[in-house]
Amino acid sequence: MAMEEVNRRGLVLLGCGKMGSAMLAGWLARGLRPGSVWVLDPHPSDWVKSLGLHLNSGLPDDPAVVVIAVKPQMMEQALPSLVLLGGGGTLFISIAAGITLARFEAVLGAQTPIVRTMPNTPAAIGRGITALIGNARVDEAGMQMAESLLSAVGQTLRLQDEGQMDAVTAVSGSGPAYVFHLIEALAAAAQSQGLPPDMAMKLARATVGGAGQLAEDADEDPAQLRVNVTSPGGTTAAALKVLMDPETGFPNLLDRAVTAAALRSRELGK
Instruction: Name all domains of the chain by residue range, CATH numbers in brackets.
Output: 2-165 (3.40.50.720), 175-268 (1.10.3730.10)
> What is the mean predicted confidence (pLDDT) over 220-242?
97
> What is the mean predicted confidence (pLDDT) over 61-79?
88
> What is the mean predicted confidence (pLDDT) over 122-136?
95
**Which of the two residues, 75 and 178, has the higher pLDDT score?**
178
- pLDDT category at 226 given cuts 50, 70, 90 is very high
Diameter of the chain measured on Cα atoms: 69
> What is the mean predicted confidence (pLDDT) over 189-204?
98
Cβ neighbours of residue 18 under 8 Å, at least 6 residues apart? 121, 124
pTM for the full predicted model: 0.91
What rounded mean pLDDT belongs to the chain? Answer: 94
> What is the mean predicted confidence (pLDDT) over 169-173?
96
DSSP 55: E
| pLDDT the model gives residue 1 | 58
| Cβ burial, residue 65 (10 Å; 0-12/13-18/19+) | buried
Query: In whole angstroms, what is the distance from residue 10 CA to residue 218 CA?
Result: 39
Helices 140-150 and 18-29 cross at an angle (nearest 10°) of 100
> What is the mean predicted confidence (pLDDT) over 226-250?
96
| pLDDT the model gives residue 76 | 79
> What is the mean predicted confidence (pLDDT) over 163-177?
96
Q: E-strand spans in 151-214?
A: 154-158
> What is the mean predicted confidence (pLDDT) over 216-241?
96
| pLDDT the model gives residue 267 | 87
Residue pair 159/168 in contact by the 8 Å Cβ criterion: yes
Residue pair 65/36 in contact by the 8 Å Cβ criterion: no
Helices 175-192 and 197-217 cross at an angle (nearest 10°) of 140
Q: What is the amino acid identity at position 73?
A: Q
Q: How far apart are the first and last CA of the chain?
A: 37
Residue pair 117/164 in contact by the 8 Å Cβ criterion: no
Residue pair 51/27 in contact by the 8 Å Cβ criterion: no
